[in-house]
């Protein structure tokens, strides 16, 4: 049975949080904000921020800010020092309003083993919030998938064949199919390729961008984050506008002679000296999963998703009918 996400968040928080609210001014003055964690917070629009500010000024900060008590090396293993750190993990908007307006607030300490654990908890927290739009839900589900894939790195060829894959686990939990989870993952990557301002406006519904375009943006190799709808449209459209015209074969004789020498050696090479790599993304995108499973005799226990990889020798390729005889 699928558990309610709010129940899971409450259980994790109860296991992680100390029972005492802390008012230690020393902690408050040394609160650390990590950009990687701040970016996980559901962005508020201008009106929401203003209303929150009015409420806090009128009534005080009613809810405590949640702080992760840790050390520098846990946050960054390469750190040269290992001083104690107090990292803000919930209440970023309240913290900003309180500090700017000299309003008192309480903090509660939470314990986590790693930064990855904190990220996972924060994603769950966002998914448990009320009035989430479909785009926001898809974004955070995708973040959850990408985060767990990063941590677990599940082997597609598990010896036991009993390990539950990330997509299967999350699909069952959220009551959706695996393809939706994988699309959410690409969607989340696409949203992460936006600047903070564009991301906020998109997730808040202030601007409309086709979800398919965001998924395509997630698959793209982005060097700088996009800052406008036009940038997204141009970026994902540009590869499609390039037309490659077929030309007559005019390979120079010298190249042909050299290639022939390698070709002769290939015929006598050991089976796996030269291999062809097949990616799961190619199989999933082209609806070839079941065909490849049958062709290679892969059991149903092995999940073929976008992280799947397989390779065949150059000798096997003609045998399977993938290429012509050498």
Q: What is the pLDDT of residues 260-310, one digit of tens each?
A: 677 666 666 665 567 788 888 888 888 888 888 877 778 777 888 888 888
> Where are the alpha helices (H) located in the chain, listed in sequence order?
5-16, 25-28, 35-38, 46-59, 72-75, 92-100, 115-127, 134-152, 166-174, 178-192, 196-203, 211-219, 229-241, 253-267, 280-285, 289-296, 316-319
Two tokens, residue 102: 């000299």
Q: Would you say the pTM of this structure is higher than 0.75?
A: no
Q: What is the pLDDT of residues 226-249, one digit of tens each?
A: 888 888 877 776 544 434 444 444
Mean predicted confidence (pLDDT) in 148-173: 67
How far apart (Å, rounded) are the C-alpha atoms in residues 177 and 184?
11
CA–CA distances in Å: residue 69 to residues 18, 88, 89, 209, 263: 11, 9, 10, 39, 62
Q: What is the pLDDT of residues 46-72, one digit of tens each?
A: 889 999 999 999 999 999 999 999 999
β-sheet bridge partners, residue 70: 85
Q: C-alpha 245: how far from its chain's center?
A: 37
CA–CA distances in Å: residue 181 to residues 53, 137, 171, 187: 36, 11, 6, 10
In this structure, the number of other CB atoms found within 10 A of the CB of residue 41 comes to 16
- The per-residue pLDDT for 283 is 83
Give the pLDDT band (50/70/90) at residue 312.
confident
Q: What is the pLDDT of residues 211-230, one digit of tens each?
A: 899 998 888 878 888 888 88
Could you tell me the domains of the chain?
1-131 (3.90.1530.10), 132-242 (no CATH), 253-319 (no CATH)
| Overall size of the chain counted in residues | 326
């Amino acid at each position: 049975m699928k558990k309610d996400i709010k129940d899971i968040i409450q259980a994790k928080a109860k296991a992680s949080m100390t029972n005492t609210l802390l008012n230690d001014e020393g902690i408050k003055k040394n609160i650390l904000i990590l950009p990687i964690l701040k970016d996980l917070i559901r962005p508020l629009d201008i009106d929401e921020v203003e209303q929150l500010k009015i409420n806090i000024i009128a009534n005080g900060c009613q809810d405590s800010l949640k702080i992760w008590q840790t050390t520098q090396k846990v946050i960054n293993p390469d750190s040269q020092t290992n001083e104690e750190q107090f990292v803000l993990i919930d209440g970023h908007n309240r913290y900003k309003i309180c500090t700017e307006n000299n309003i008192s607030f309480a903090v509660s300490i939470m314990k986590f083993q790693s930064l990855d654990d904190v990220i996972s908890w924060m994603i769950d927290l966002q998914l448990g919030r009320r009035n989430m739009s479909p785009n926001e839900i898809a974004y955070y589900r995708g973040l959850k998938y990408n985060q767990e894939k990063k941590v677990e790195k599940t082997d597609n060829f598990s010896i036991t064949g009993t390990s539950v894959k990330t997509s299967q686990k999350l699909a069952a939990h959220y009551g959706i199919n695996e393809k939706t989870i994988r699309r959410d993952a690409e969607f989340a990557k696409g949203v992460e390729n936006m600047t903070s301002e564009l991301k906020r406006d998109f997730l808040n519904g202030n601007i409309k961008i086709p979800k398919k375009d965001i998924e395509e943006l997630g698959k793209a190799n982005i060097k700088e984050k996009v800052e406008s709808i036009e940038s997204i449209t141009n970026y994902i459209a540009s590869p499609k506008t390039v037309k490659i015209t077929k030309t007559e074969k005019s390979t120079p004789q010298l190249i042909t002679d050299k290639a022939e020498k390698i070709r002769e050696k290939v015929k006598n090479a050991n089976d796996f000296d030269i291999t062809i790599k097949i990616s799961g993304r190619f199989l999933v995108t082209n609806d070839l999963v079941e065909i490849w499973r049958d062709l290679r005799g892969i059991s149903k226990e092995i999940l073929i998703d976008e992280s799947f990889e397989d390779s065949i020798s150059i000798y096997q390729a003609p045998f399977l009918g993938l290429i012509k005889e050498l």
